[in-house]
Amino acid sequence: MNALAATNRNFKLASRLLGLDSKLEKSLLIPFREIKVECTIPKDDGTLASFVGFRVQHDNARGPMKGGIRYHPEVEPDEVNALAQLMTWKTAVAKIPYGGAKGGIGCDPSELSISELERLTRVFTQKIHDLIGIHTDVPAPDMGTGPQTMAWMLDEYSKFHGHSPAVVTGKPIDLGGSLGRDAATGRGVLFATEALLNEHGMSISGQRFAIQGFGNVGSWAAKLISEKGGKIVAVSDVTGAIKNKNGIDILGLLEHVEENKGIKGFDGADSIDTDSILVEDCDILVPAALGGVINRENANEIKAKFIIEGANHPTDPEADEILRREGVVILPDIYANSGGVTVSYFEWVQNIQGFMWNEEKVNKELKTYMTRGFKDLKEMCTTHSCDLRMGAFTLGINRVAQATTIRGWGS
């Protein structure tokens, strides 16, 4: 089941629990706008190269649409559509005044030079500048993009519309980016984990964690969890996987990754097969890489009692069913990894006000939002007698449905 089919399935299940009528259901599911553009650029060797860019604007009932721009060879319409829909529910779960969107360009950024990436970003921005905006659609970084990409987008957009720092988030600090944004998704994973464990009378200290993915989300989550006394016993990234039952020295690993561009070769742990990271002996598993990694082939072998979804859609529906039967508690992506979009909202607010916050305020507000979000999610679980994933979906969809109905769009 691909990401769009799985997302639609979860929507239908939640819609049934909420008792939405078919007309409103259809209104919520169909995207507001789908954009597909050709981006042709001169390469450094003088030849021309063409790429396809996408932007799916899913819903704006609760506010401007919000979502990342990813550069990846496998960017295609169904995936972008699914991720845009997830952003609609995620922003509603977080109770921030946004809708959902997602975009990307089908390219391999590792095969493009910095100047080629800049030209590609600027051409893409030229094609969509009149369809995004501070109060319309606010892009952010995603897989294969980062603060520099957002800086190019901001600069190109500003050529048409004047200086507009709030048009993108995840920017460099010097262009209006927020303190704490870099660590936000990983810190949100920490706060989400604390809220879940607290519900079970536990704390992070002494728990054994396996983290799949050591990019921005995984590395920050590992660092912050280890600072709270959690023991990181296994980690993987694209270069390999390692484990140490006594706990990996995360600060040492971060230094190694900085120098070697990956965890491969780190001498403070044993090398293991990359695919085995998900089934390592641990208390808490944090998938923080690509989607669809937990499936019916490996679900029965997972030893963790808790799964915190740092990545988008890491668990497919069949695996969900298997893990539920086994008593594994899954904290769903649309809540667990919402720290990034929440601090993006803080960045947008700061840009509009022209008044920047210190990092302590950013982190304090993030904890407030994540803690409140878990409480709201649990209330929906109680109301509808459902698991955490359906609790999150019913929470998000219900908020969007209410806004849609109040506006008069659902009738």
Q: Do 393 and 10 touch, CB atoms closer than 8 A?
A: yes
E strand segments, 250-350: 270-272, 284-287, 306-308, 329-331
Tokens of 327: 């008593």
The kind and range of the H/E element at 393 are helix 388-407
Tokens of 409: 């769009």
Residue 268, class by beta-carbon neighbours within 10 Å (0-12 exposed, 13-18 middle, 19+ buried)? middle
Place of tokens 């060797």: 45
- CA pair distance 99, 90, nearest whole angstrom: 9
- CA pair distance 171, 243, nearest whole angstrom: 34
Considering Cα of 198, then 233, then 248, then 374, what sign does the dihedral take? negative
Is 102 annotated as catalytic?
yes
If you count them, how many residues does the chain have? 411
Given the residues 66, 90, 102, 243, select the one marked as catalytic: 102
Give the CA angle between residues 153, 158, 159 to the nearest 5°: 105
Helix axes 359-384, 77-93, angle to 10 degrees: 90
Give the CA angle between residues 183, 189, 190 to the nearest 5°: 85
Residue 3, class by beta-carbon neighbours within 10 Å (0-12 exposed, 13-18 middle, 19+ buried)? buried
From first CA to last CA, the distance across the chain in angstroms is 32
Tokens of 290: 């690509």
Active site residues: 102
